[in-house]
Amino acid sequence: MSYLILIRHGQSTWNLERRFTGWVDVNLTEIGKLEAKKAGELIKKQNIKISYYYSSLQLRAINTLKIVKESLNDKKNFIQAWQLNERHYGALTGFNKVDMSKRLGEEKVRQLRRSWDLKPDPLNKQSPFHPTNIDTYKDVPLENIPDTESLKDTFIRVTNYYESEIQNNLNKGNILLSAHGNSIRALCKYLFKLDKIQVSNLEIPTGNPLLIEIDKGQKIKSCKYLDHDRAKDLLIF
């Protein structure tokens, strides 16, 4: 058996402001740092040795992972991958979610946020929020930088990376992955074989490690959130 631990980053500055963030590279709030620290302490109590660490290319996921690793007193390197980034919200990027619900209607915004293959309009390449204008992504090939994405698009890039770079390492040891609401939602769809309706209703709480036990045949044997007080009543349970 091996363990795969999935952590959505702690609260970010734009989470707090209820803005569509996507690929904009914002940092953690003080609450987010505390969430990450608690996540590390919860993982430490499991007495699980982590062999491989992964994060997205985004600061909020990277710093969450760094805080967790400090709690574990583990100084080994970790792998950063743009494929684990949050979903790109296109022209919604930067806008407040409540304001957009008033402007477009709650149902339209819900569809744009949670439908399987509906994309927001593309983000203008002149926008300071476009990934090509953010230093974080200067080494990502232009053909891999989106202007907008659906959850389906996010699912394809996340699961392709999981199958090619992460899955085989589960046969060698335990893995901890720090990423985002939609990239983890996409990976949960793959791992738990969720349908489009189930994944659209799936909530991923910030800073709460999801511990998944997987056998050598890549079958899931058990899963649980480590912070039981903050665990959501998810369909996969």
CB 225 within 8 A of CB 208: yes
Nearest to 81 by CA among 169, 150, 144: 144
- Active-site residues, by number, are 9, 86
Question: What is the Cβ-side half-sphere exposure of residue 215, based on CA atoms within 13 angstroms?
Answer: 5
DSSP 16-70: HTTB--TT----B-HHHHHHHHHHHHHHHHTT--EEEEEE-SSHHHHHHHHHHHH
Length of the chain: 237
Helices (H), 105-180: 106-114, 151-161
